[in-house]
Amino acid sequence: MIRAALLALMLASPALADESIVSGLSQNRVSITADFVGSEILVYGAVKRDAPAPEGSPLEVIVTVEGPATPLTVRRKERVAGIWINNASVRVDSAPSFFAVATTGPLSHILSDTENLRFNITIERVIRAVGITAEADKAGEFLLALLRVRTQEDRYRVLEGKVELTEDTLFRTDVELPANLIEGEYKVRIFLLRDQKVIAHQERVVGVRKVGLERFIFNLAHQQPLIYGLVSLVLAALAGWGASAAFRLMRN
């Protein structure tokens, strides 16, 4: 089924020089519901050529999925007189809420620092590209701490060797999206590389939106905060009264 879709895309695409990307996504929209536990995106594609593939330099593929970026402050705590306090911090102008990079091989072997600097492919480059202010000594340590924390939270992932490449032409990879997604546009980028250099790239977008009850509550909280607060108080009072009534019935 995927091969047929790729063939149709290749036949419909205009002719381009050298090597180009023809790709598809299993879904371009993700709905967050009350019972949302995560999702998965299949990224698949093919390399379109006007001539035989070059010999001697193997093809490599990198796929990145990047969630909406937000500013944040990273703080460092130290123990003083038995109490943990914040003694330094740096402000990151914008860091992606989710980032995954999947590759056909080790990043250090297939991607040069120059190309990484040019296209901002790795997680470190994406964060540095949007700016990190030097409000404290050794700001790089704060960046490493941010990467470590978000990796532990499963929000940042490096999936080396997870892109399948068949006959130097067809590729595919699966990227799992966690349950703690935020709304927004998730950018999917695909890179073809030879000799550690990017020879073609393509970008697609997956929209993530709350739907149903989740959407109603979100809109109410942001558009009608007073009503949302009153409803929350009423629900809390009803929950308290229900728990009290149930407790009295159990005692009797």
Name residue 174's amino acid.
D
Identify each DSSP E strand in 39-162 by its residue range: 39-49, 60-66, 69-80, 83-96, 99-103, 156-159
First to last CA, the chain: 64
Is the pLDDT at 26 greater than 60? The verdict is yes
Instruction: Tell me the two tokens of residue 34.
Output: 């009350």
CA angle (1, 104, 17) in 5-degree steps: 70
Any idea what DSSP says for residue 234?
H
* Structure confidence at residue 4 (pLDDT): 57
Contact predicate 208/184, CB 8 Å: yes
129-186 pLDDT per residue, tens: 666 655 555 667 778 888 888 898 889 999 999 999 999 999 999 999 988 888 899 9
Between 2-16, 36-50, 99-113, the lowest mean confidence (pLDDT) is in: 2-16
178-227 pLDDT per residue, tens: 888 888 999 999 999 999 999 999 999 999 887 655 554 555 455 656 66
CA angle (52, 102, 185) in 5-degree steps: 105
48-94 pLDDT per residue, tens: 988 888 888 899 999 999 999 888 877 776 666 666 666 667 777 78
Task: Indicate the domain borders of the chain.
Answer: 2-210, 212-252
Q: What helix, strand, coil percent values describe the chain, rounded to 5?
A: 35, 40, 25
Question: CATH 2.60.40.3880: does it fit domain 2-210?
Answer: yes
